[in-house]
Structure 1
Amino acid sequence: MPFSCFSCVSWFEAKNAMDSREEKIIRKWSDSVEADTEIGLVLTEDRRSEALENFAEQLSLLAPRVKVRREVNAGAEMPAILIGSNISYHGIPSENELETFLNALRPGADESGTGGSEASGAEHIPLPAQLDLYIMMHCSFCPVAVKKLVALAAAGPRVRLRIIDGFLFEERAKKDGVRSVPTLLLDGTCRWAGDIDLKEVIAMAIRRDTSTLSAGSMENMLKEGEAVRLAEMMVERGQIFPAFFELLVHEKWPVRLGAMVAVETIVERNSDLSRQIAAPLWERLEHAGDAAKGDILYILGEAGDESMIPGFESFLSSNPGRELREAAEEAVSRIRSRIRS
């Protein structure tokens, strides 16, 4: 189905309330729910957060077994409804997608079998795989794609699935070059549109070039405590993965910390390779947030060589704050210490 958004704002405002048909669907689904089901709700400063919150509140009133766990995260990319541990839903389930969304809250409850057998092999995906599925609520083909990908996420613990309403989040769809729905992206590079073959998606996720891992997939590795493994992958390839630099300047401290652990491992295992980090990272120093600059200077002190010293001297002459001055001086000291040894 071709993608178009002629009045996202009007639709967004209209969907602040469910219609009677949608309420009936939820009540019928609720009658079949025998145990409490928890969903997460990530709220940001984005005005669309209000619509997702309204939907979650109405859902919990109509289906009392649904418990909503709220989280305010101003730094999140998009407001979201979280399903299980590895699915985020960026949209307001309605029209063709409402029943599909409800079935996703109870893995295995959908008796159609769509996607179940096709997802076999997902458990063998060796590295985090970021999957972005673009849909629209009135799309007649999208529910099948959602069912397939939900089954894949259930079968593959390494899969991180984002289901994105390209109509509501038009700017995101345009950024990713989405022209029709359903469209699936793997790590922001591999792309499928229309009838999505799960076997092909799984095969690609298993054999993909590790150097093309997205920042999101590498961030997931850091969150799972695999900073050393990520470093070893880069050492084995003899290459610093391009998206890795996004983690080194990330606005969140835990992400930068994990990336620094990876850098320290690379320095220890292959000091020559670590030199590939210095110049590209130095270029990002000026535009990094204040909180990240001190960490960047630390990394440059670990990975840089004598060629970096003039740059540090220029930085120091610009009268940075006390903390950044101390970080830069310590970095120069470590570099000079390595030269002497």
Structure 2
Amino acid sequence: MLSIEQLNSLKEIDWQNPIKLILINGRQKKVFLKLEEFCNQLTKAIHHLSLEYSKEILVGYPALKLDNIYYLAMPVDEWWPPFFSAIKAIAIGKTELEENDYEALKKITSSLNIKVMVSKASPLCPWAVNFSNQAAIVNRLIKTYIIDIDLYPKMKKHYQITATPTVIINEDYILVKKEVKDIIDWIIKASKKIYDSTVFKSLLKEARAKRVVQLCLEKREIPDALLNLLLDLELPSRIGTMVVLEEISKEAPALIENIIPKLLSMLKLPDKRDRGDILYILGLIGTPEIIPTLEDIASRETEELEGIALEAIENIKNRTLVH
């Protein structure tokens, strides 16, 4: 499973701290036995390593626990280098992170969990694994889960993973493929519960519009960071935001009333596409009170936007009659 060269590299570490490898819950017997074989090979070769068995409530089973890092994956082949780096960092008491990243992670005071969804298809996966592992070693409030979606297909289905690596921090902060290079910034955002336009855009891109609706309902507001996505350059962000606003209009109409002035002000924007989209969403969520404003806009707009404005008015009237 591991080569003599790989085992020798562990022996060359200047060990300062012994390490416990912990196998958790023996479901998926075949995977568990492979993990056990892997651990036995390590502990037989390195006396600083020991193996224990435990039970713990996790996102999936079985798992290999290394300090604050949980492997739902086999740490071999391309996954061996980041696993080795984690062992070395714990053993010598020093990570390989740059000082700025180290200090930023050390200052985090809230609990975070980082799920790194990986597969052999992407060369970026080992990098994402390594950084996430090192982050968990720096700060005990951070837990990292390395999940091989090929080995744990239920996890792939549950989190609707379509590309790797996908990094999910505290469920709401999602990075996919090349975006993982920004992981340090997103860890800090998650620790401070910052929901800016990039976070909302990421949730919408990953088909999590329901979660965005839930966040707005919980906070009892629709933030500008979300409304600004109505003007995003990418069409999925615009459409996703419209879906969210339409759903909120059904569940919490008062929240929609609060953003109508902002939407009306957007009708002064120079871009025709922007104005057209705002008129369209006003037709879906607007109230009868704005009809005179829309009529005035229709009289002054281009033929195309006049049609959208008149359709918006008709939609508002129809919804009012239904209710």
TM-score when scaled to structure 2?
A: 0.52
Aligned mates of 1:134, 1:110 — CA distance in 2: 27
2:21 to 26, 35, 39: 39
Aligned mates of 1:87, 1:75 — CA distance in 2: 12
Could you tell me which residue of structure 2 aligns to residue 186 of structure 1? Answer: 169
Per-residue CA deviation, residues 134-184 of structure 1 (Å, 9 max, x unaligned), is 123564222221221122212223211111112211220221111222210
Contact 2:89 2:95 in 1 (8 A): no
**Residue type matched to 1:30 in 2?**
K
Could you tell me which residue of structure 1 aligns to residue 192 of structure 2? Answer: 207
Label 1:33 to 1:166 Cα distance change in 2 as closer, same or farther (>3 A).
farther
Label 1:134 to 1:115 Cα distance change in 2 as closer, same or farther (>3 A).
farther
Contact 1:119 1:198 in 2 (8 A): no
- Which structure has the highest helix share of the two? 2
Label 1:113 to 1:104 Cα distance change in 2 as closer, same or farther (>3 A).
closer
Could you tell me which residue of structure 2 aligns to residue 99 of structure 1? Answer: 81
Contact 1:87 1:161 in 2 (8 A): yes
Higher relative contact order, structure no. (Cα contacts within 8 Å, ≥ 6 residues apart): 1
Contact 1:127 1:158 in 2 (8 A): yes
Aligned mates of 1:25, 1:106 — CA distance in 2: 13
**Residue type matched to 2:157 in 1?**
K
Aligned mates of 1:127, 1:110 — CA distance in 2: 22
2:69 to 83, 87, 93: 87
**Residue type matched to 1:43 in 2?**
N
**Residue type matched to 1:178 in 2?**
I
Query: Is residue 119 of structure 2 the alignment partner of residue 132 of structure 1?
Result: no
Label 1:138 to 1:117 Cα distance change in 2 as closer, same or farther (>3 A).
farther
TM-score when scaled to structure 1?
A: 0.50
**Residue type matched to 2:78 in 1?**
N
Query: Is residue 37 of structure 2 the alignment partner of residue 54 of structure 1?
Result: yes
Q: How many residues end up aligned between the 2 structures?
A: 193
Q: CA RMSD in A?
A: 3.0
**Residue type matched to 2:53 in 1?**
R
Query: Is residue 125 of structure 2 the alignment partner of residue 142 of structure 1?
Result: yes
Q: Which runs of 4+ in 1 moved over 4 A?
A: 72-76, 108-112
CA deviation after TM superposition for structure 1 residue 66, in Å:
1.3
SS at match of 1:191: strand
**Residue type matched to 1:40 in 2?**
I
Structure 2 residue runs of 5 or longer lacking an equivalent are: 196-217, 221-323
Report the identity percentage.
Answer: 16
